[in-house]
Structure formats: structure tokens, C-alpha cells
Amino acid sequence: MSHIRHSLQIRHVDAGSCNGCEQELTALTSAAYDFQRVGLDWVASPRHADALLLTGPVSDPMARPVERVWAAIPAPKWRIAFGDCAAGCGVFQAAYGIHGGLPEADLVIRGCPPEPGAALQQLRDAMQAMAPHPDHTVGG
């Protein structure tokens, strides 16, 4: 599974974000950060993904779609919580409509929203660190 060191294909799902995280994720694709040069990319289907990257505190209508996207990603696979809301420590944690972030995240990128340069560095570090332990199973 050493391919993870060189390439991590990510499916993004927004579950109640304020769009700050999304704008910074888009910035990662821009020339200033160009995350494709280090093997990161967004994929349009969870079937092509190595990881689920979640933004937002998980609004109730998105809870099931998030589970389905995770189930559709083939193992080995990783969960990434992007931003304070997904990390379970955002300001809307106590609102009735939310479930409170992504449980059991393999990588938590804090920030409101995370600054793209720092986020890119954390993703790169994680790609190295994740490689020896890719033992999640489907649905796990």
C-alpha cells in the first residue's frame, strides 16, 4: 500500500459547513498550492477514492449520505476531518440540527477554516504516516 506515499485520491463531502472550508479546499487546487503536484486530488466518485474528507458538523440530512459515501469507498481507506466543525469543536456543536462532526477520523485538520498552506503540509505528512497502517476494512 505504499502508493499512498505518492498519491491520495480524495472524495469531499460537505455536511453543514459555512463554505469557508470549501473555498480553502478550492484554493488547494489553485496555482498557489497546486496540490496535484504532490499526488493529491479530488475524485468525482467514492469508488475512485482512498479517503473521505468531511467538512461541517454533520447536519442531520447529510448524516446518511456521508455514511453511504464512506461505505462506497473501497478499503484501505481513511477519514479526514477538515476544519473545526468536522473535528467536533466548532461553534455550532450544540445546535439541534447537527450530529457533531466526523467520528474516528484518521486525520484531523483544525482551523476555522484551516489555512491552505498548513492544511497541505498536514495532508503531505499524513500521506507518509498513513502508509504502514492501511488496515481499515469496508464499512469500518
Partner 1 sequence: MDNPWIRQNVALKEAHAELLTVTATRNHRLQATWLDPASGRQEQVTVDVSQEHFPSLTPMLPEVAWDEREIHDVFGYVPEGHPDLRPLLRTPRWPDNFRPLRDQPRARPTWRDAEPDNPALTVEGDGITIMKVGPTHAGVIESGHFVFSLMGENVLNLDAHLFQNHRGVESLLEGQTIDAVGAMVTRICAADTVSHQTNWALAVEALAGYDAGATLTLDRILLLESERVVSHLNDLAQIPAGVGFQVAHQQALAIKEDWQRGLQRLYGHRFLFDTVRPGWVASVDPENLLRLVHAIGRSWTPWRRLVEGHHGFNDRMAGVGVTTRAEVVRFGGQGVVARAAGKAFDARTLLPLYQDLRPVPVLESDGDVRARFAVRIHEVEASLRLIEQAAERLRRQTTPRDAHWRPPDEVSGQVVVYTESPHGLNVHEVAMDRGRVLRYHIRAATYRNWPLLAHAVPGNAVADFPLINKSFELCYSCTDR
Binding stretches for partner 1 (CB under 8 A):
12-27, 29-32, 42, 44-45, 56-57, 59-66, 69, 90-92, 94-98, 112-113, 115
For partner 1, the closer of residues 41 and 134 by Cβ is: 41
**Residue 21 corresponds to which cell in the numbers above?**
472550508
Q: Name the DSSP letter for residue 81.
A: E
For partner 1, the closer of residues 38 and 43 by Cβ is: 43
Query: Can you tell me the distance from the alpha carbon of 91 to that of 57, in angstroms, rounded to the nearest whole number?
Result: 9
* Closest to 48 measured CA to CA, from 14, 17, 7: 7
In the complex, least distance from residue 91 CB atom to partner 1, rounded to whole angstroms: 5
For partner 1, the closer of residues 38 and 112 by Cβ is: 112
For partner 1, the closer of residues 88 and 90 by Cβ is: 90
Determine contact, residues 71/42, Cβ cutoff 8 Å: no
Element (H, E) at 130: helix 116-130
In the complex, least distance from residue 1 CB atom to partner 1, rounded to whole angstroms: 25
In the complex, least distance from residue 108 CB atom to partner 1, rounded to whole angstroms: 18
In the complex, least distance from residue 60 CB atom to partner 1, rounded to whole angstroms: 6
Amino acid at 73: I
Element (H, E) at 13: strand 8-14
In the complex, least distance from residue 42 CB atom to partner 1, rounded to whole angstroms: 6
For partner 1, the closer of residues 5 and 41 by Cβ is: 41
Determine contact, residues 102/88, Cβ cutoff 8 Å: yes
